[in-house]
Amino acid sequence: MSKRVSDNLRIKRKYLVWLKDAKGLSEASIDKAAAAVSSYQAFLAGKDFRAFHSEQARSFKRRLSSKQNQRTGAKLSQGSINGTLREVKAFFKWLADQPGYKSKITRSDADFLSPDLKSERARRSSCWKPHPSPQQVRKLVHEMSQETVLQRRDRALIAFLFLTGSREGAAISLRIGHVDLANACVQFDGRTVDTKFGKSFTTAFYPIGGEIEQIVRDWIGELKSVHLFSESDPLFPKTKVGVGISKRFEALGILREPWASPSSAAKIFKQAFKDAGLSPFSPHRVRDTLAKLAKDHCRSPEDYKAWSQNMGHDDVLTTFRSYGSVATGRQMELLEKFRKRGPIQDPDNDFDVIE
């Protein structure tokens, strides 16, 4: 191994340690940064990081624009390109302060790695995203099969996501004891549950429908009474795979283990909508559905604050910016209504304001 390659690996490792211990980033965030810096290393083809300059940065941006996705063969999306650029730029900004690199790398050159402003604005925009309506959700869970334990688990998983607004990564790391059926809430303990940024918060069940709540209650009852699960066992256990009657490997039931990653849960979610003849929505759209449901229940600033806090948001504006976008058609309807109605005569009538 050449000294240049060795130096690159050493300083890269130092940067990743800094992200973990000084910045407190999660493993997923660190992996993302490592992958971005590795892509730049591949572009360098053995050159030292100290050789960085503005023209090299511009050349790297052009290379990313022409690069193909290894899995699909299509060009990288603008979101992927911008994400890589942001990570590499942060690395060189840090590198410009390190001994042995200060005299070689300038922060102004690192700015050449900035993503395109137009695409960044598009990424940060809160355009309306297609998501299932509460009515579609109720229809879906009502029609899902429940003959086998795996079908009941999958049905309960989807019901739980809409009942609590949980991200699939957090849901699969929950234990039965985290769910408080007596008070109709869930304790998302960031120390043991895979919540975003390790945050701890309590979420009460959303008013998505009595049937959806009952599905979750029945599932927990089955886990305890039929499968003899305890409070410390996973709420959504992993599939047990073994040799079946056909002498082939097949799903045989459930294990007392959680899923290793949320990918299986996301696949189940999308397939359920597809089987019901609906769009294969992503689990990320659950919170859009709940934000839409808020308008049917919230009438005061305190109502909206409680609804937002129930999602684990400290700031109610986070909910509105990320999940509260209004569909274009609805936007047109509301503005037409405002034109016909004129100014509100009684500002204390908040029912009219929120409608």
Instruction: Report pLDDT for 8.
Output: 92
pLDDT at 247 over 50: yes
pLDDT band at 156 (very low <50, low <70, confident <90, very high): very high
pLDDT band at 350 (very low <50, low <70, confident <90, very high): very low
pLDDT at 351 over 50: no
Helices (H), 134-188: 134-143, 149-164, 168-171
Rounded average pLDDT over 13-40: 92
Distance of CA 311 to the CA centre of its chain: 13
Q: Which amino acid is at 103?
A: S
Instruction: Report pLDDT for 326.
Output: 58
Instruction: Report pLDDT for 327.
Output: 58
Q: What is the pTM for the complete model shown?
A: 0.70
Instruction: Report pLDDT for 320.
Output: 64
Rounded average pLDDT over 32-40: 94
pLDDT, greater one: 256 or 322 = 256
Rounded average pLDDT over 65-94: 86
Q: Compute the radius of gyration of the chain from its Cα atoms.
A: 25
User: Strand, helix or coil at 144?
Assistant: coil
Residues 302/337, Cβ–Cβ less than 8 Å: no
Instruction: Report pLDDT for 33.
Output: 94
- Residue 316 vs residues 93, 301, 343: alpha-carbon distances, Å: 33, 9, 26
Instruction: Report pLDDT for 31.
Output: 93
Domains of the chain, first to last = 3-124 (1.10.150), 134-286 (1.10.443.10), 293-354 (no CATH)
Instruction: Report pLDDT for 355.
Output: 37
Q: 156 is written with which tokens?
A: 């309960």
The string of pLDDT tens digits covering residues 169-221 is 999 999 999 999 999 999 999 889 988 878 899 999 999 999 999 999 999 99
pLDDT band at 317 (very low <50, low <70, confident <90, very high): low
Instruction: Report pLDDT for 353.
Output: 38
Bridge partner residues of 188 (DSSP): 201
pLDDT at 347 over 50: no
pLDDT band at 231 (very low <50, low <70, confident <90, very high): very high
Instruction: Report pLDDT for 352.
Output: 40
Rounded average pLDDT over 116-122: 68
**Nearest residue to 176 (alpha-carbon basis) of 222, 145, 109:** 222
pLDDT at 55 over 90: yes
Share of the chain above pLDDT 70, in %: 85
Distance CA 60, CA 75 (A): 15
pLDDT at 292 over 80: yes
pLDDT band at 53 (very low <50, low <70, confident <90, very high): very high
Distance CA 302, CA 288 (A): 20
Share of the chain above pLDDT 90, in %: 53
Give the DSSP per-residue string, 47-95. Answer: --GGG--HHHHHHHHHHHHH-B-TTT-SBPPHHHHHHHHHHHHHHHHHH
Instruction: Report pLDDT for 158.
Output: 96
Three-state secondary structure of 257-303: EECCCCHHHHHHHHHHHHHCCCCCCCHHHHHHHHHHHHCCCCCCHHH
